[in-house]
Copies of this chain bind each other. A is one copy, B any other.
Amino acid sequence: MDPGRVLTSLFVLFAAAYVGAYVAQRFRQPTVIGEILAGALVGPHLLGWVREVESLRTFSEIGVIVLLFYVGLGTTIRDMLRVGRHSLAVAVLGVALPMAAGVGLMHSLGYPAGVAYFMGAALVATSVGITARVLLDVGQARSRAGQVILGAAVIDDILGLLVLAVVAGLATRSFSRVHIAITLAQAVAFTVFVTLIGRHVVHRFSVHIGSFRVRSPEFVVAMAVCLGLSALAASIGLAALVGAFLAGLVFSETREVEQIRTRVEPVYDLMVPLFFATMGSLVDLRVFLRPETLWLALLITLLAIATKFVGCGLAALPLGRRDALVIGVGMIPRGEVGLVIALVGLRLKVITPDLYGIVVVMCLLTTLLAPPLLWRMLTRRGRAEEAAPGRLAPFAAQDSREIASSEHEISPGDIQDDA
Contact = CB atoms under 8 A, between A and B. Distances in A.
A22 B22 CA distance: 42
A55 B8 CA distance: 18
Contacts of A25: 213
Contacts of A402: 213
A342 to B, nearest CB: 16
A212 B264 CA distance: 21
15 contacts: A1-B58, A3-B240, A4-B231, A5-B235, A6-B58, A7-B65, A7-B234, A11-B228, A15-B228, A18-B224, A22-B213, A56-B58, A215-B265, A263-B266, A410-B415
B11 A270 contact: no
Interface string A1-28: 1011111101100110010011001000
A214 B266 CA distance: 11
Contact of A231 (B11, B18, B216, B223): B11
B224 A7 contact: no
Nearest to A25: B213
A214 B15 contact: no
Contact of A4 (B21, B235, B265): B235
A215 B267 CA distance: 12
A252 interface: no
Contact of A419 (B11, B212, B412): B412
A3 B227 contact: no
Interface in A203-245: 212-216, 219-220, 223-224, 227-228, 230-231, 234-235, 240
A403 B11 contact: no
Shortest Cβ-Cβ A-B pairs, 4 listed: A4-B234, A7-B231, A263-B266, A11-B227
B412 A18 contact: no
Given A14-B227, A18-B214, 11 more contacts: A4-B234, A8-B234, A11-B231, A18-B220, A18-B224, A22-B212, A55-B57, A56-B58, A216-B269, A223-B270, A264-B266
